[in-house]
Each structure stands twice: as structure tokens, then as C-alpha cells.
Amino acid sequence: MQQYIDSYDFSGKKAIVRVDFNVPLDDDFNITDDTRIRAAIPTLKKVLASGGSLILMSHLGRPKGVDAKFSLKHIQQHIAECLGAPVQFADDCQKADAQAAALKPGEVLLLENLRFYAEEEGKPRGLAADASDEEKAAAKKAVKESQKEFVKKLASYADCYINDAFGTAHRAHASTALIAAYFPNDKMFGYLMEKETAAVDNILKNARRPFTAIIGGSKVSSKLGVIKNLLDKVDNLIICGGMSYTFVKAQGGRIGDSIHEDELIPDALEVLRTAEAKGVNISLSAETVAGKEFSDTTERRTVDIFNIPDGWHGMDCGEASLARWKEIILASKTILWNGPAGVFEFPSFAHGTEQIATYIAEATQNGAYSLVGGGDSVAAVTRMGFSDKVSYVSTGGGALLEAIEGKELPGVAAIRN
């Protein structure tokens, strides 16, 4: 039975909470962006204010075993500051029995990086490059076996389980999915997970029309599943950014040295055919701002996207396309944006991406629902100070994409089912 954080009685209970504190750190272990920590704070404060105690668990980076570089100790103090409460630390997530047992209401214990153990992901480590299929299968079986004990130990620390780690909800890991089975009547989403899943439902299940998706970024291959699922949902699909050039080449255009994926040409053609059959209006850039070199300071020229000179790189969309997209976006009632419209890291080629953010903000002010997700579009919106001008900014990259593909995320299913 799924519980809800607002109706659950936390008094005197220990809550083990899966958070996504996988934050970027600089060379001196300073946090360079604490969005993920701040995003989980409302859930954590709620448990403490309701008389519960907290056992926090997360991964950080991709350690291959115990590695001080990836210790959660680096972020312990910052969590305490964000939470406004002291945070104790357990040096080993599998040996925290005594510390967990001693927790009193209002106290917080942070467990060391879950991924110091291969059991968290359930994938064998340290296999020889030339390992045979039998050896691989045996190693996999062994880690799956020991994973049961790993999960059981984590579960033994607490009375209830909260998943607030949307960023890792697409992984069927010990702490994101398997542990829920130990709390059949005491498992729930944190506020962040609730908001993220509601945002996905808003676009996939409850979209008001016209519904426009703007899909950009570098590659068709990483977004093909998303595009295919959206063709059943949207009225307009704006395809922009680096992935445009595969669509242009597929239709016989000259793309110069622009980024593209030849092997995705049949898929691109299939997307165009399906869109036509389903009556989805696909809008590609008509012209492109091309650079002579792939750099910020290079010579620029606006050219027909179907006729990019040899050696030139398409790096941003042009004004005529933006004018068309502005009309489409402002007429929309539901908007999804994932992926930049150009190489927005270079200020000279960030104009298209920034304009799209502006149109979405304007449409939102006029009453549209807008969801922005995926690292780079979120970075663009944040950089422009527009985070509050769109309806929702997702914290999930891969997780959001898989949800939009229509897949049930293991972290979500483990709580709901």
C-alpha cells in the first residue's frame, strides 16, 4: 500500500530516504551546483518536523569500490546547512546498525556512498576484459545473491522508506527499487518525486491542446524513443539543435560538416512518415546559423539548412525559424522542452536556445503548462533566470526521458505497485 508523506505519521519513526545527492564537485570538493540537495530539503524537513528521524542514502559519482574521492563526507556539512540541523555520518552504509538504532526524533544520519558496494547497482565489478560468458554469468549471479543481504541491511535501519530521488528513478537499483519490498505498508514518494511524476502525467496523460514538444540536443539516437512516443501525443513537434541535420540529410539536404548520425537516417525518415500519417506538424529549422569552424569566435553565416556550404557547421537556428516557432509556442496550451536549439555553450550560438526559453516563458504567463527537462535546457533556463517563469523544471535527465518514452520507471513502480 502506497502511503503519502503528508498523511503518514512519522512521530518516533526512522525514515530511510533515497535522495539523489549526486552533485557536481570541483577539484577541492566544493559543490558547484547544489540544486539536487535543495530539491530534497522540503521532504527531509517535513519528516523532522513531524517527529521522525532521517537516514539519508545516495550515490555520488561512479566509484568502482571504496574511493575517498567519491565520499559523501564532502557534502555532509552542506546538507546540514541546507537542512538547518546537524548531520551525523556513517562511514560504511552496511555497518550503520548502532548509529541508526541510536537516532532520536529530529536527528539525521547520512550513509556513505551506496555505490562503494557493487550490490547497489547489482552489477559485477572487476571482471577480466577477456572473461568468458560463463564467468560473466557466474559473477552476475553472485552479485545478485549478495544484493539481497545488502538491501536487507539497509531496510533494517528504518521503519519506513521514502524515495525522493527522481534522477535515479529509472534505475532498478537496491536503494531505488528493491528496498521498497521491505516496507509494503510504509513506502512513499517524497515531495520531489510527487512533483516530478505529476509533471510527467501533466504532459503524457492530461495535456491540454495544442501540445507542442520542442526536442533539441546533439543526437537523434538519444531521443528517438522520446520522439516516437510523443508522435502519439503532440500536435506540434519542433526538432532543433544538432539532431536537425540528420533529418535534413535524410531528406537529401547538404549539411556541410554539421553533426549528424548516418545510421539514424532510416529512423529519421520513419519519424517523418509517421508524423505525416498521424497528422503531427513537424517543424524543422528552415535556415541555420553556420560557423566556419566549430568555435565561439568563428565567422558566422545564415544559410539555407538544406544547403550548408562544405566545411561549415550548422550551430544555431535562424530568425525565420524562430519567428515560426514563436507562433507555434505561443498558441500552445502544453509545452515540453528538452535539448538546446544550438551550441548554446558558445554565446555566439546561444541565441536560438535563449529565444525558445523566452517564448516558453511568455506562453506560460499566458496560461500554458510548460515542462523543461534535461541538463542543457535546464541550464539554459537557469542561466537566464527563467526557472520561475516556466511551470516546472525537472531534476531528472535520463529518468525524465525514459518517463516521456512511456516507460514505467522502476523507482516509481516500486512505490506504486
Contacts to ligand AMP by CB under 6 A: 217-219, 222, 241-242, 259, 314-315, 339-340, 342-343, 345, 374, 376
Residue positions annotated with a catalytic role: 36, 219, 375, 398
Nearest residue (CB) to ligand AMP, 299 versus 345: 345
Nearest residue (CB) to ligand AMP, 123 versus 219: 219
CA angle 327, 329, 335 (to 5 degrees): 170
CB of residue 101 to ligand AMP, shortest distance in Å: 44
Contacts of 184 (CB under 8 A, 6+ apart): 1
What is the rounded CA–CA span in Å between residue 157 and residue 101?
A: 7
Contact 176, 410 (CB under 8 A): yes
Nearest residue (CB) to ligand AMP, 207 versus 248: 248
What is the rounded CA–CA span in Å between residue 378 and residue 373?
A: 6
CB of residue 64 to ligand AMP, shortest distance in Å: 25
Beta partners for residue 213, in sequence order = 237, 336
How many Cβ atoms from other residues are within 10 Å of residue 125's Cβ? 12
Residue 220 carries which DSSP code?
S
What is the rounded CA–CA span in Å between residue 414 and residue 403?
A: 15
Nearest residue (CB) to ligand AMP, 242 versus 253: 242
CB of residue 371 to ligand AMP, shortest distance in Å: 15
E strand or H helix at 139:
helix 133-156
Q: Which residue is nearest to ligand AMP (CB)?
A: 217
Kindly state the cell numbers that stand for 99. Answer: 548509529
CB of residue 401 to ligand AMP, shortest distance in Å: 9
Contact 3, 185 (CB under 8 A): yes
Nearest residue to 48 via CA among 22, 94, 84, 90:
84
What is the rounded CA–CA span in Å between residue 129 and residue 73?
A: 32
AA identity, residue 304: D
Nearest residue (CB) to ligand AMP, 119 versus 261: 261
What is the rounded CA–CA span in Å between residue 242 and residue 100?
A: 49
CB of residue 342 to ligand AMP, shortest distance in Å: 5
Nearest residue (CB) to ligand AMP, 39 versus 290: 290
CB of residue 253 to ligand AMP, shortest distance in Å: 14
